[in-house]
Amino acid sequence: MQAFKTLLIVAVLSAVAYGVYVALTGARDVEPPPGVVAEDWQGGPQIELPPSDGAASGPPAILGAAPPAQAAPQVVQPQTATAVEAPPFSAPPSTQDSGAAPPFVSPNVGPGNPEMPPVGSEVTAEMSQPPIHDPATQGVDYRQAPTGDGAMLAPPVGEVPPASDLPESTFATDFAASQALLAENRLDPALLLLSRWYDDPRLSPPEHQQLMPLLNQLAGTVIYSQEHLLLPAYEVQPGDTLDRVAQHYRVPAQILAKINGIADPNQLRPGDKLKVVQGPFDATINKSTRQLTMMLGGRFAGQFPIGIGADQTTPEGEFAVKTKTPNPTYYGPDKVIDANDPTNPLGKFWIGLDDHFGIHGTNDPNSIGLAESRGCIRLSPRDIEDVYDMMTSESRVRIVR
C-alpha cells in the first residue's frame, strides 16, 4: 500500500513537471520510447480499474509494475444478533380456581359390572338373606333396604337438604355422578347423593322407578350388611353388653343384633368385631304418598307403606318419640283391648309421638295404604317391628302432606 502511494505521488509529480515543462518549452508531442507503437503511446501510464461490480476491493493494478504484496486476509467477526422480543405467552385458562370441571363421562354400571346389580333389576335371593355373623366378611353385599314387605331394614341420621333446595342440581346429573361413584365402589357417597331425591316431587315416574331399586340396594349394603362402610368395626371389650354398645352409638340394641346376626345379645365375646352405625334414626311420613321413610345421617334407610287417619285426622309437623311399648293395650273410646288379643288394632308395637297419637302395627293388614284410622300411622305387622327396632327416644318424626 505504501509503495503504491509512492508510485502514485511520483506519477502525479512527473505529470505536473511534464506539464510545466511543456508550458515552458512549448513542446506538444513527446516521442514514444523505443519499441513502443506510436498509436499506443499517450504520454503516461495507463491505470486499469477493476471491474465495477462491487465485488473487488483493494488498490488498482498498475500495468508493468510489480504486483503489490497481498494483504492479510480480513477476518470478519460474526455480528451479534439483534435481540427480538418474543411474543407474549398465552397460557390456557386455568380451572383450578374457576370452579370449572372437565366434562363428566358417566361409566356404565349394570350387567357389565359384577360389583353392582343393574338398576331396576330384581334383588337376588342371596341379597335378601339375613346377614351372617362373620366379622371377616369382605365382599360387597347388596341386600335390600326395608321396603315394607318384611325385607331387611335400613337406617338414617340427620338429613341432607332436599333436592328442591339445590336448583343447580338435577336428578340426571346426580344419577350420573352416582354411577361414577359406584364404578369406584364408593357406595356410601353414592347413597348420600341419591338420598335427597327419594321424595322429590320433580321426579317423573320413570325416574322414580330408576331411583328406588338402587336406593334400596345401596341402603341395604351400606347400612345393614356387615361391611364396615360407615364406621370402623367395634371390637368387643371384656364386660361389654350389646345394650351398652348400642347406647354409645345412640341406636337400639335390636338393630345391632339384626345387622350382626346375633341370636343371643348376652353372649358377646371379647375380640369380636361388630358392625356399628351412628344413630339416631329419624322418620319422614308423607301422607300424600302414604309412605314412611327412615333416614340415618342423611341416608335413605328404607321405606314402608302406611295407613293414615281418615278425613285428614293425621296431624302434620315435627314430633319426638316419647314412648316405645311392645304388646300395647288398646284404650278405645268405648272399650279396652288387652295386649296379645288378636282383635287389638294396635298390633304388637306402639311408638308414641303424643299421649294419644303414634305409630303402631295393625290387626288388619288390608288397611295399609288407606285412610281409615282415627289419626295414627299404621304399619304392617312385620314393618312395625323393623321400625320399632330402629327408633329411640332421640328419633324425630316429620309428618308432611
Respond yes or no: is residue 360 known to be catalytic.
yes
* Amino acid in position 361: G
Reference 324, options 266, 280, 364; nearest CA is 280
Say how many Å lie between the first and final Cα of the chain, rounded. 117
Grid look-up 327419594 returns 198
Gap between the Cα atoms of 143 and 127, Å rounded: 4
* Amino acid in position 88: P
Rg of the chain over Cα atoms, rounded to whole angstroms, equals: 52
Catalytic position from the list 133, 208, 228, 360: 360
Longest dimension (CA), the chain: 175
Gap between the Cα atoms of 297 and 159, Å rounded: 6
Gap between the Cα atoms of 306 and 339, Å rounded: 22
Q: Is 61 helix (H, G, I), strand (E, B) or coil?
A: strand
List of residues 6+ apart from 62 with CB closer than 8 A: 4, 7, 45, 47, 48
Element (DSSP H or E) covering residue 337: strand 336-337
- Cβ atoms of 156 and 297 closer than 8 Å: yes
Q: Is 320 helix (H, G, I), strand (E, B) or coil?
A: strand
Gap between the Cα atoms of 323 and 310, Å rounded: 24
- Cβ atoms of 321 and 352 closer than 8 Å: yes
Catalytic position from the list 133, 248, 356, 376: 376
Respond yes or no: is residue 376 known to be catalytic.
yes
The grid cell for 106 is: 358417566
CA angle 324, 395, 359 (to 5 degrees): 45
HSE-CB for 41 with a 13 A CA cutoff: 11
Gap between the Cα atoms of 277 and 300, Å rounded: 14
> Is the four-CA dihedral 332, 336, 341, 342 of positive or negative sign?
negative
- Cβ atoms of 366 and 339 closer than 8 Å: no
Local structure of residue 310 (DSSP, 8 states)? G
Active site residues: 360, 376
